[in-house]
Chains A and B, each alone.
Chain A
Amino acid sequence: MRRNYGVTLIASFWVFIFLIPLLGAFYTSLRTDNAILSGPFVWEFDSTFSHYKNAMGAAGYDFANFFKNSIIISLGTVALTVFISFPASYAIVRLGFGGPWLLRLALALRITPAIFFVIPFYKLFTAYNLIDRPLALILANSFINMTLALLVFSGAINELPLEIEEAAAVDGASIWTTLRRIVLPLLGPGMAAVGVLTFLFSWSDYLFAVVLTSSEATPVTVGAANFVTSYGVRWGDISAAVCLSVLPPLVFATAAQKYLVKGLSSGAVKG
């Protein structure tokens, strides 16, 4: 068979183009301050990784705290989203509650720009004194991702053979037992797709974070953007902070790439 190295070359070129921002940030994060300030092509690397140490707290930034917030918010959002949308999708699909119109509503909300919800959420969370708490972002992100989760779960439950659940019912299992023991284990792929997409979208959220937090609950997206303005000249530290911020979703989503692809191509619309 003829080997298509030409295609590899063209594909590599485009991959390189798309990764220039990431590679550029990584490159800057490894260089000494001196080299960074003397121009982009001075080859002088920092063997002590001081930018990474600075970003993680050595220079008094709050970055470690931002990082912790992002993790709490993303994992919290995944947990809450799955906890609510999984039983709800089952009820919609199998028990016939709400029916297709609820899914249509979910889809319509999914297409509604997130900016529309910013003002109601701000009002709501101000009223309940939740501003600048991670819980506010968990609730807001869960709301946005709930609709996606409902759609993915409903699709996955639709594809399960009904006979298994009927057999469980005949054996005297309650709806909750069926859900927990039969349906849940079979929905592994759907669960993984919802998990990885929800994690990705809530980690990426910037709009809600910038409105609903001020300092305590700030996640990395807002933290990193603020870095640029507040520590204007410390490019190395900023680059290191950004590279670290990109890492968790990158590792997680690459590991679950199969489910990411499945979830995204089954009609997921980004919020």
Chain B
Amino acid sequence: MPLLIMLAMLLIWPVYLGVKTSFTHDVLSEFTTYGAGLENYKNLINQPNFWLSLRFTMIYAIIATILEVILGFALALLFDRVFPGKRVLFSLMLVPIMIAPSLMAVMYRLILNENIGIIPGFLQRIGIEFSIFEQQNVFGSLIALDVLEFTAFTFLLSYSALQNMPSEIYEAAAIDGANARQVLTRVILPMLRPALAIIFLLRILDSIRTFDSVYILTGGGPGTSTQTVGIYIYKTAFIFGDFGLAASASVVLVLLLAPFMPSIIKQFNLNQGGGK
């Protein structure tokens, strides 16, 4: 019992500290810190950069998540049958999960490099000039990186969900004379809708906190055009040294995500109660 109280304290302590900092005037260049009430939050509201980063994060997360869920589900459907080499290809599909997003970003930067990268080299061969640092290419490149890295995750979860469907349903549909397309739209999709919704939710919550890959690839630039909320918080605290402001931004971010928490918690409890 004391162990658990300690554990609960341990889990809550950093949360407390984070919230407390958000109500503190805490700037690195000034030696004293003092309670400041809502000062940081008032300042935050007047920071256009914060709102821009929030908007960018949302657009980025929604587009990337939609693409990943669709592609992951389509690939799961593809893998949901017997074909030669399936075991090896399945393992290879999971490889991106095992690669750190930051390392993936370094490799991605390498293959996109204007002088030595394979992709620009290839595009040049077919007559297209490409530079990731050009404004119109940056967003697409970031989305593509996210898709390359995380489709494996949506694929795996969709595949597990497909595997859990009772095979009798397919047989029943076949007896009723349904064709493959009807089975997909009338049977599989309606049955997997809750699972797909959860996968979507998990992925979007994940991509909202994207930091590593975007930071390494663009550092939030050009300018602040690809600044995610994570990068905004990081820069505010560790480059501009305003811990109070950064803490209040992270509190706002958590509050924005909070409405999603009950549905995730409910999902997990259902999993536990209802067996596998």
Contacts and interface: CB of A to CB of B under 8 A. Distances in A.
Contact of B267 (A4, A210, A267): A267
Contacts of B243: 119, 122-123
Interface stretch (A48-56, A106-114, A162-170): A106-114
B71 to A, nearest CB: 8
A160 interface: no
A207 interface: yes
Contacts of A129: none
B211 A207 contact: yes
A123 B21 contact: yes
Contacts of B78: 7, 10-11, 14
A37 interface: yes
Contacts of A40: 116-118, 120-122
A82 interface: no
A173 interface: no
A15 B92 contact: yes
Contacts of B102: 204, 206, 221-222, 224-225
Contacts of A200: 97-98
Interface string B1-28: 1011001101111110110010000000
Interface string A215-237: 00000111011011000000100
Contact of B254 (A116, A203, A246): A116
A10 to B, nearest CB: 6
Given A18-B152, A203-B100, A250-B99, A113 B208 contact: yes
A147 B11 contact: yes
Contacts of B84: 3-5, 8
A24 B82 contact: no
Contacts of B106: 25, 224-225, 227-228, 238, 242
Given A112-B254, A265-B157, A228 B18 contact: no
Contacts of B82: 4
A30 to B, nearest CB: 13
B107 interface: yes
B226 interface: no
Interface in B207-244: 208-209, 211-212, 216, 229-230, 233-234, 237-238, 243
Interface in A73-123: 84, 87-88, 91-92, 97-98, 100, 102, 104-109, 111-123
Given A11-B78, A221-B103, A116 B160 contact: no
Interface stretch (B126-134, B166-174, B176-184, B256-264): B256-264
Interface residues of A, number: 95
Contacts of A20: 111, 118-119, 148
B153 interface: yes
A114 B128 CA distance: 40
Most chain A CB atoms below 10 A, which of B148, B212, B251: B212
B205 interface: yes
Contacts of A87: 3
A181 interface: no
B53 to A, nearest CB: 12
A192 to B, nearest CB: 15
B11 A3 contact: no
Nearest to B121: A40
Contacts of B206: 269-270
Nearest to A85: B7
A49 to B, nearest CB: 18
B17 A124 contact: yes
Given A113-B209, A235-B113, A8 B21 contact: no
A98 B4 contact: yes
Interface in B8-53: 8, 10-15, 17-18, 21
Contacts of A260: 94, 97-98
Given A7-B81, A88-B7, A249-B99, A113 B253 contact: yes
Contact of A25 (B15, B79, B107, B253): B107
B153 A22 contact: no
Given A14-B78, A108-B261, 9 more contacts: A10-B78, A25-B106, A40-B121, A107-B264, A115-B209, A118-B233, A119-B250, A224-B103, A242-B110
13 contacts: A5-B83, A10-B78, A15-B89, A18-B93, A25-B110, A25-B111, A107-B261, A107-B268, A112-B15, A120-B13, A120-B17, A224-B103, A269-B206
